[in-house]
Amino acid sequence: MVCCESTTKNGKVITFTRYGEWTEVCCLFFHGFLASSDFLPPDADRAGTCVLSFDRPGVGQSDLIGEYGMEDFFAIIKGVLEEHGVKEVHVFGHSAGGCYAQVFAEQNPDITRSVTLLSSLIPLNCGETEHLMTRDLRKRRFFITRCRPIARLYFLITSSVVNRRVDKIISDRIDQMSDPEQEIYRKHKDIYRNAELMSVTKKGKGAYYDAIALFSARSHPVISGDIPVYVWNGDRDQTTTVKFAEYLSKTYNAKRLHIIPGGTHMMFFAVWHEASEEAMGEVKI
């Protein structure tokens, strides 16, 4: 069962997707950059635990709230969890959503049961990861932190391009995937298409403010040693490389590091069930 729901904070609506019935222990998924809350398999709750995925402000049907920090977004999420009696969460993050997942786990160790990083980015603006930052990430950080008018124009143009060429963009990306991933994404192409379109609603302003939150300077997250961490990455991933995965695994003393042969950056959809079942099979040490 897939339900589209919303919550209101200070007069602003934030939308989220719920898979399955509410349970005291849920899976909390942070979607990647230029994605949206429903970018998961329709049976994401197959393992028997409710899965929650929130659109960030200005993404999908969520209202814009202007510039915000991760903590502001977490406060909204925690309000929903408390309202529905959720006591603990297994935290998942794909790509840029992995940055949100790391910070959420650091700030909420009392309710975080596990952390799963799926093709996750490293922290993007702290000294400890500077040696791993790619040229593309450094360029994006420069424009977001130093040249915001140009960054805003970039997301406006990106929004226009995605809306005009979404089918071609998606088809080209699927053609570059491994055979198992291609099979899954062709089957769920409508979900992929909708997530792409929802990521650039409101002329890309939501993506712009999301980028500001992601590239804000902060200290490196510290995840409690009591919380098991799992890291998944494809060996063909050119966005979050194996070096990123190895760094995250070592830094957080991951319980398991999975490097998937032939896996690309969009691997998370293909391994979701295996990853969620692995996480929910564990309890706090």
Average pLDDT for residues 242-259, to the nearest whole number? Answer: 98
**Is residue 213 one of the residues assigned to a domain?**
yes
**Is residue 97 one of the residues assigned to a domain?**
yes
Given this model, what pLDDT does residue 47 score? 82
Average pLDDT for residues 215-233, to the nearest whole number? Answer: 97
Given this model, what pLDDT does residue 283 score? 45
Contact status, residue 80 vs residue 52, Cβ threshold 8 Å = yes
**Is residue 285 one of the residues assigned to a domain?**
no
Contact status, residue 96 vs residue 70, Cβ threshold 8 Å = no
How do residues 146-181 score in pLDDT, each as one tens digit? 999 999 999 999 999 999 999 999 999 999 999 999
Query: Does residue 106 surpass a pLDDT of 70?
Result: yes
Given this model, what pLDDT does residue 48 score? 85
The rounded mean pLDDT for the chain is 95
Average pLDDT for residues 111-116, to the nearest whole number? Answer: 98
* Structural domain harbouring 137: 2-280
Average pLDDT for residues 232-248, to the nearest whole number? Answer: 97
209-212 long-range Cβ contacts below 8 angstroms, 24+ apart? 209/56, 209/57, 209/58, 209/64, 209/65, 209/66, 209/67, 209/68, 210/33, 210/56, 210/57, 210/58, 210/59, 210/96, 211/33, 211/140, 211/144, 211/151, 211/155, 212/67, 212/144
Average pLDDT for residues 116-135, to the nearest whole number? Answer: 96
Name the domain count of the chain.
1
How do residues 27-85 score in pLDDT, each as one tens digit? 999 999 999 999 999 999 998 889 999 999 999 999 999 999 999 999 999 999 999 99
The share of the chain scoring above pLDDT 90, in percent, equals 93
**Is residue 252 one of the residues assigned to a domain?**
yes
> CA angle 205-208-214, nearest 5°?
145
β-bridge pairing 2-9 and 12-19: antiparallel
Query: Does residue 187 surpass a pLDDT of 70?
Result: yes
Q: Say which CATH number the domain at 75 has.
A: 3.40.50.1820
Given this model, what pLDDT does residue 196 score? 96
Average pLDDT for residues 270-285, to the nearest whole number? Answer: 82
Query: Does residue 285 surpass a pLDDT of 90?
Result: no
Distance of CA 274 to the CA centre of its chain: 17
Confidence of residue 282 (pLDDT cuts 50, 70, 90): low
Given this model, what pLDDT does residue 16 score? 96
**SS3 label, residue 203:** helix
**Is residue 250 one of the residues assigned to a domain?**
yes
